[in-house]
Amino acid sequence: MLPPDYQRILAAVRQAAGPVMARQVGEMLGVDISVRSKLEPLRGKLVRLVDRGWLRKLPDGRFTTRL
C-alpha 18, offset from chain centre: 12
| pTM, rounded to two decimals | 0.92
Q: Return the sign of the alpha-carbon dihedral for residues 47, 50, 51, 52.
A: positive
Residue 66: pLDDT over 90: no
Q: What is the DSSP letter of 25?
A: H
Confidence of residue 28 (pLDDT cuts 50, 70, 90): very high
Q: How many other CB atoms are there within 10 angstroms of residue 17's CB atom?
A: 5
